[in-house]
Every structure is written in C-alpha cells, then in structure tokens.
Structure 1
C-alpha cells in the first residue's frame, strides 16, 4: 500500500455501477475477504429499476451461450462463472437448460473450446440437423432470470452491510471523493465509461438487442445459432428461464453501434417467425407475448477492460474543479467494463480477477 496509507480498519470501496458486473464484484470482495472492505455501490440505475433502459443487465438473455472466444483470459472467466452458476441451481436461481446450437458454416465441432466446460456435450447426428444447416451440437447449460437474479444479488449485499447510493456520478474525481484517500474505486459503468470524465473511453460502443418475453410452457430447451453480428444484425435464440414457470426469452438482434432503444415492430415479427421455425411449440395456443425488450449491450473494441492501478486524484485531465471533489492523494482505480453480450457469463470469473487485482495492489 502507498506510503501514508491507512492500515487500520476496512478499506473503503466505491463501486460505480449496479449492473451484474458491479454487484458480482461486491459479492466476490465480501466472500474473499469478509472484514477487509466497507463497500458502497453508487449508481444512477439500481437493481430494482428493472424497466430502465439506462443499463443493460435487466434485458440480458442471462444464460451461458457459445460465444467465439480466442483469449484464454475470457475463457477462464467463463469457466469460473459456469461452475458458480451451476452451484446456484439447487437454490432455484439458475436452471439446467438442455441445448441445441446449429451452425450455418462448416466447422470441426469436436474441437470447440467449451466442449469440456458445458455438461453432456455431443455433436448432433446429421439426421438431427434441420435441412440447409451444416451441423449442430447438444449440451446442457444454465439460465437465470435477471428480474430475480439482480434483486437476489442486491439482497445478499444488503445483508452484509453494503450501502447502495442512488446518484449520477459525472467524473472519476467525484467518485474518488466518495472513496476517500487510499480507498478503492471500481469503474463498472458499462456504456457509461464512454462519457465518465476521467475515463472517456471511445472504444466503448453499444450492441443493440431486441427480444420478446413470452409465456410458452411447451418450450423446454435453449435453441440458437452462435451469437454473431453477421450482415443482417439478426440473432436467433430461444432461452427458457427458471421462473416464473413457462417464461421464455426470444431473440433477437445483434446490432453494433446502434443506440436506438425504441421497439421495432417489424423486427419483433421477424423474431417470432425465426424462433417459430426452430421451436414449433411456440405456435401452441398457450403461447402468448408478455412484453418486448430493447437493451444496449456494453461492448468495447479490443475486448473488456479489467485492470487496476494506483491513481493520483484529482486527475490532471479534469480541467475544472468540481464541488465536493477536493480529495488529494491516491485511490486504487479498478476498471471492469466492456463485456458486451457476455456480462452474465463472464461475471463471476471477471469479478474474481478484479478482487485478486485489488488485494494484490493494496499489499504493494
């Protein structure tokens, strides 16, 4: 820890952002060192704001789904998260999800990197693959419902003394003032990292996702194509949720650099048509549309930013002095944003890395 740092008592931690990444980091810090941190979560949008389009977490598919990954670091996050989510199944927070994924291009499906991660992986026989497709796989994965999972994380944190502060923060210096000298500041602001003064990361961009929530008790498996922007921006997937009974998410779109959060009716019709071809059960008379969703996945060119370093405050890049930001010294600044469509399935692994980085830097 830097010279002059306070060594007695818990370290003050401020986490900017109350989405799945910020909440999971807080839970991981408490689990790894129960008495080491005093945590505040500061955000404009809170876990109870499940109808807010200001953050992505309420709108996510929130399952583990195959995403092309060429970096061992993110694969490690996915492995850790998968195992953690699997442990939540007996509590009813996650469900076992039988899965079929179809491919439109020729690939060696026996060598997919996640074949030993998911449960009961197998390559589909050609007789099991719809006409016109190149191949498919089957396995078991998990899903959670953000509308239940986010409040559960929040309740866990409240039970352990975490303070939630509803506040719109404009700059790192403003947030550092909440943490205090030699405190820890975690930037888990998602798309907000683009406009947060002191970060201003122009590599951050949205991937628009439009989905439909339906009541379809006849649909029991996750069916999809690999998530990819492609030429059309369409993404087809069907994700049953653990509860309420019969709730299924139908998707969707994968539209980089599209900031539009309004509903597109033609897109919704296309989603229903494509998903109906993959799962004829959707045409049962019991199926009914519950609501339409539009959310912006917080992606980043070059991949997620997860790092930590001691930083002098106020930042020299901030030209004007802000009231309430007269903190001088250093804070440990950790970044954790830019996970795109993989926020939930990276969450526990990425949070573990952030917790390790914070512990290591505090001991320097």
Structure 2
C-alpha cells in the first residue's frame, strides 16, 4: 500500500528483537519509516526481570531446534557481530564444546558457520567426556549493548514511549490507519489481547556473573548433558574487563524469578570442573541473575498480515470507540526466540524488514 511520506511504525517491545528491528528498518530504508517503540520496560531497565534481554548469555552457541530458517538468521547475526567487534561491542571468543556421547563431530551443521572449526584431539578432552570441538564465535554484554542500540535509535529520531499496552487495538491507535505494528513483546505475547498465544512459555535461566580475568574462552556442555534443567556454560564478556557469565539452568515452564541457592552452588561446581581457573583467589562473585527466556512451542513466530482494527474482543480494557483506529494495520509478529534471541536477532530483523517492505507494496 504505497503512500506519501514515511510510514508510521509502532514496535511493541524494547528488548533485543524490537530494538534490532527498528535499527534494521532505519538503516536499510532511510527516511521510509517513522518509528515509535512502545514498551513497559526500556533498554536501561537492566535490573527488571519483566523482560529477558538484560539477563541473556548473549553469545553464539549451538542450540537445539535450529532449522534452515533460523540458520539464515544466525549467519546474518554472526556477520554483523564481526562488524561490531572493532567498536568493542562484540568480542571474538575462542570456544570449546564438550560432549558426553559419541557422535560424528566433524559433520555438525554449524561447522561452516563459525570460524576455525575443528574437532578436538582426544588428549584435549577432559576425563569422563567423549569428545569436543573448538571454534571462534562472539559474545556481547547486554548491559552495554542494549543502551548502545537505544542511543543509535534516538540519534535517528526514534521515539521511545514507556507504556504498558494491553491489546493490539490499543497499540494500533498509537500509529493510525495504514501503519505498521510490530509485535516484539516476547513472553508478553501470551497475554497481549488480540494475540493471546498460549504456545508462549518461559524457560527459566539462572546464572552467576563473576570477575575471573583468567577465563578467556567460551566453554560448555550441550543441553541435556547433565541433570534435567541444568545447562553448563562459561561466557567471557568483552567488557568490563574480566567479567564472565556462568550458567546455568534451562527450565521450561518455570516462572520463578528468585535465586535458588542450591542451584547457584551447582553452577559454580559444574563450571569449575570445566575451568579450574575459577578456583583462583582473584575470582569474585559479582551477582546472581535469573531471567525468563521467551520461548514458543513450534519455534519463533515471524510473519506479517494486514489486519482489521478495532479487534473484536470482550477482553479489551476500554470501549472500542475510545480512541481506537478504524481501518487496517500491517501486523508483524516477531517473538518466541527463547534462548536464541541475540544470536537470531539481526537475521530475524532483516526478515521482518523484508516482510514489511513487500507487504507495503501490495
């Protein structure tokens, strides 16, 4: 639907997906969009457990459930992270992943995605494990990366509105008819009226941030290698110097955001078994984190369709005639990335931008 002037875009959600979508729209199609990001939690709300982005490991690591579509997203994201490395926003990270079962490690799907992939010699594999691989990937620190994205968007004229939105109709009214509405609400898509996606669910992640300057590489075991709900990984960050994230847990449908002390002790023990340097005197625990990864049964939802508003729902918090827009909006969904939000972000954002551009032409 071609029109004169920039297209109004409202993005619901200021996590890594919403911010990256906004950045991609503005940099791939300059002057084509006027963007407003509307969210209850903003990128500088780094202690808020109400959204997932501040708590992420925020590196690239092998994930279960990848497919041809998500692999395209991951390749685009890795390529973007190499571009950000000279700025200090991302760090090239030597990595090792160990396995507890015998399998042909030379044919893993990501061997051509990461840099310098190789199968470890048996002499390089700790006792009790069956094999391992080494490669180079990236890591970032959400506490620096999210505010950077926000500053880039503010410099490009994006408006940030702190507001809890109850329904798609309420969001559409903020932009007007023939606008674009991007639903990047993460776990909020479960309760957003007009979406109410019951397939959205949390995956609880508990981690520990430590100062451990002796740790210089990402080390992990694949999911499923330990007890149910456990995930073992060590992720050095580009800054502050010496900051390392230790994990963790992978607990589907667990909404608990409190720190479990026994779990924290288990994380420290498992990570120290992989990296004995953690027992050095200079290691200090800085803080304990818990975040809820916004997952979705069936995988991420990224799709677009023209939608009539106002939406008909007896759950709407206000009468439909009160400030509601009558007409159509282009509704684009971008949520349900689970633990892979950061490593899918740039590729998924490009797909969203392509969906918007093609839909607006029709």
Q: Secondary structure at the residue paired with 2:147?
A: helix
Q: SS of the residue aligned with 1:66? A: coil
Kindly indicate whether residue 6 of structure 2 is the aligned counterpart of residue 10 of structure 1. yes
Residues of 1 paired with 2:274 and 2:202: CA distance?
27
Deviation at 1:110, TM superposition (A): 0.7
Please name the residue that 2:345 is paired with. Answer: 347
Q: Is the 8 A contact 1:69 1:75 kept in 2?
A: no
Name the counterpart of 1:335: 333
- Asked whether 1:281 is paired with 2:267, we answer no
C-alpha offsets along residues 295-350 of structure 1, whole Å, 9 cap, x if unaligned? 00000000000000000001124555257442100000000000000000000000
CA distance in 1, matches of 2:36, 2:212: 40
The Cα shift of 1:226 comes to 1.8
- Structure 2 equivalent of residue 221 of structure 1: 217
Equivalent residue for 1:81, pick from 74, 77, 101:
77
Secondary structure of 2:64's aligned partner? coil
- Are 2:310 and 2:320, in contact at CA under 8 Å, matched by a contact in 1? no
1:72 counterpart (51, 68, 71): 68
In the TM superposition, 1:139-218 aligns within 5 A as 139-218=135-214
CA contact (8 A) 2:223 2:230 kept: no
Q: Give the TM-score taking structure 2 as reference length.
A: 0.97
The verdict on how the C-alpha distance between 1:86 and 1:44 changes in structure 2, with shifts beyond 3 A counting, is same
**Aligned match of 2:87:** 91
Count how many residue pairs are aligned between Structure 1 and Structure 2: 360
Instruction: Determine helix, strand or coil for the equivalent of 1:249.
Output: strand
Instruction: Please give the alpha-carbon distance, in whole angstroms, between the structure 1 residues aligned to 2:24 and 2:251.
Output: 32
Q: Which residue of structure 1 aligns with residue 128 of structure 2?
A: 132
Q: For 1:259, what is the secondary structure of its paired residue?
A: coil
Q: Residue by residue, what CA displacement relative to the aligned partner does 1:184-224 show, whole Å, maximum 9, x if unpaired? A: 00000000000000000000000000000000001111000
User: In 2, are the aligned partners of 1:66 and 1:227 still within 8 Å (CA)?
Assistant: no
Separation of aligned partners in 2, 1:230 and 1:272 = 14
Q: Could you say which residue in structure 1 is the equivalent of 2:102?
A: 106
**Distance in 2 (alpha carbons) for counterparts of 1:207 and 1:323:** 38
**C-alpha RMSD of the superposition:** 1.2
Determine if the alignment matches structure 1 residue 57 to structure 2 residue 49: no
Which runs of 5 or more residues in structure 2 are unaligned? none
1:246 and 1:168 map into 2 onto residues whose CA distance is 37
Alignment gaps of 5+ in structure 1: none
The separation in 2 between residues aligned to 1:56 and 1:171, in whole angstroms, is: 21
If the length of structure 1 is used for normalisation, what is the TM-score? 0.97
Q: What SS does the corresponding residue of 1:326 show, helix, strand or coil?
A: coil
How many angstroms does 1:8 deviate by?
Answer: 1.1
